[in-house]
Amino acid sequence: MLTDWVRKVCLAFPGAEENVQWGNDLVLKVSAKMFAVTCLEPAPVCLSFKVTPGEFPELVERPGVIPAPYLARAKWVALENEEAIPKAELKRLLRQSYDLVVAGLPKSKRPPRN
């Protein structure tokens, strides 16, 4: 299941935390800022995360990848199925999402680096 894999990958990042919000979404955060959201129950979108402005248009051209509902303006993408992006690439993109969010934090709120 993608949710378990995403959880394991993301919670390995320094200072990453999880909580359930909006009923059935597992939200992964660093210093109270979201960097990934996955669903605990079947839904039209199984994972959302932040990407660079340069990668956004390229990713949303792929089958199964769409602009994330409510977050596309902030350059978030959403996966409609678990196979939309290979896991090796997805792992890199999740780390990049985390790094993008950390870079936007005040230095005093950034977690120590691994």
Report pLDDT for 43: 82
Amino acid 111: pLDDT: 85
CA distance 68 to 97: 14
Question: So what's the pLDDT on residue 102?
Answer: 94
The first and second tokens of residue 84, run together, are 């939309």
Reading the block at residue 70, the tokens are: 């409510």
Q: Where are the domains of the chain?
A: 2-109
- One digit per residue, pLDDT tens: the chain, 114 residues? 688 999 999 999 999 999 998 888 999 999 999 999 998 888 888 999 999 999 999 999 999 999 999 899 999 999 999 899 999 999 999 999 999 999 988 888 888 775
The answer regarding whether domain 2-109 maps to CATH 3.30.450.20 reads no
Cα diameter, the chain: 40
Residue 40: per-residue pLDDT: 87
